[in-house]
Amino acid sequence: MTTFWAPRAWIGDAVASGVRITASEGLIDSVATGTIPDADDHRLDGLVMPGAVNAHSHAFHRLLRGRTHGDGGSFWTWRELMYREAGRLDPESYERIATAVYAEMVAAGWTSVAEFHYVHHAPDAAPYAPAHAMERALARAARASGIRLTLLDTCYLSRGFGEPLEPAQRRFGDPDAAAWLARLSALRASFADEFPEVVVGAAAHSVRAVPVDALERIGAELDPAIPLHVHLSEQPAENEACLEATGLTPTALLARSGLLSPRLSAVHATHLTDDDIAALGAARATIVMCPTTEADLGDGVGPARRLADAGARLALGTDQHAVVDPLLEARALEHGERLASGRRGRFAPTELVAALTRGGATAAGRALGAIAVGQPCDLLVIDEDSARTAGSDPGQLVLSATAHDVTRVIIGGRERAADGVHTDLGPVGDLLRKAMTS
């Protein structure tokens, strides 16, 4: 048994003082408040929060950071650069890159990640032998870094409505929905034995990349217990193409296909109609906002407040990893709402913390996200006395701190990072540099 003591910790929806947390076998056994430290306690000096859950990641997109801004462009021109990097990946290089990226996440305070994974096959679209080589690479990377991985195996069948995959996309694809469902089933069976710590979920890349008949088959045949994610209405062009091809918005098409439900996580959800917002809220879907990516790509500001008010749950993700910082994602969610509305306080700090923790946990298909008995002992510690945080109300640190203020990260009761350095893998910058140049 390990005992941690903190001067302050985020318990429920408020900050409590003098918090002692005991844990064994990676789970929290007890939580007490109003205590004083004992000699045997492991002191966590600062504000302790539940570990943050990154609800949307494409690990290899980290290769593009700082390399896509010279000529302006758009989401669509950025995508061509992304395809180029995807075409260079093999299992060995992807494992190195993902290990470094996941270590960067851990050092920043992300303790779980949902990886939206679609680079399945070799560049010539041939399946790897042995099977699931790229998926195993991601699982090994997560194991090395200590992060909790939800691997979202993605169905990606077309480049647009009625259009076949282009050459750069062929390694993402499967022959049809039946083949993807069979491969997903085999992957889940394999990982149950080899990587039992990994949650294997599912994703439909987008309505433009999964034909209508495939969406309907997924809606009918995918196990309803499996988390399902989809990129939704990220671009106006996607909405326009969907309306032209089907007469429906992407959200309405998902509803007709039987895919709107509490197990659905809709990523971005930037360009929605009033009816879309009402439908997603009524379904109790989770909306995964990626504010720093949406800003980086010029995608727009999604209607996060209206979605939450309609009944949807909110989560946060780093997507293309232009920024890997849970606190900046939370702040950007609130700042986007302020810029769009001209008003402050659109999301209270308690709501931002919930999006980073419980909302992300729902998207990841995991029972975690709180400092409570029976929960995994996943914690991050924020320095309350840095140049950024000194003088802040502890309950508002989510709006003043950054990942540079995350001094310790604990996953399953074990310290995995301290002061930005991964405990097992070392300085994150060195890891990233070596991964990108080897």
Please choose, from the candidates 130, 148, 128, the residue with its C-alpha nearest in 3D space to the C-alpha of residue 138: 148
Give the pair of three-digit tokens for residue 182. 């069979």
Q: Which phi and psi (to 5°) does residue 32 adopt?
A: -130, 145
Contacts of 119 (CB under 8 A, 6+ apart): 60, 86, 89, 94, 134, 171, 172
The rounded distance, in Å, linking the Cα atoms of 31 and 39 is 18
Catalytic one of 117, 132, 268, 335: 268
The rounded distance, in Å, linking the Cα atoms of 49 and 222 is 35
Please choose, from the candidates 114, 109, 103, the residue with its C-alpha nearest in 3D space to the C-alpha of residue 143: 103
Give the H/E segment covering residue 264. strand 264-268
Burial class of 340 by CB neighbour count within 10 A (0 to 12, 13 to 18, 19+): middle
Indicate if 378 belongs to the active site.
Answer: no
What letter would DSSP give residue 388?
T
Q: Please report which residue ranges of 287-424 form alpha helices under DSSP H.
A: 291-296, 304-310, 326-341, 349-354, 360-364
Catalytic one of 296, 319, 378, 405: 319
Q: Which residue is listed with tokens 């999006």?
A: 355
Give the pair of three-digit tokens for residue 329. 């994602």
Q: How many CB atoms lie within 10 A of CB 390?
A: 10
The DSSP code sequence of 28-39 is EEEEE-S----T
Indicate if 56 belongs to the active site.
Answer: no
The rounded distance, in Å, linking the Cα atoms of 167 and 345 is 46
Contacts of 430 (CB under 8 A, 6+ apart): none
Contacts of 304 (CB under 8 A, 6+ apart): 287, 289, 314, 333, 336, 337, 346, 347
From the CA atom positions of the chain, what is the Rg in Å? 21
The rounded distance, in Å, linking the Cα atoms of 136 and 128 is 11
The rounded distance, in Å, linking the Cα atoms of 57 and 364 is 11
Which sequence positions are flagged as catalytic?
268, 319
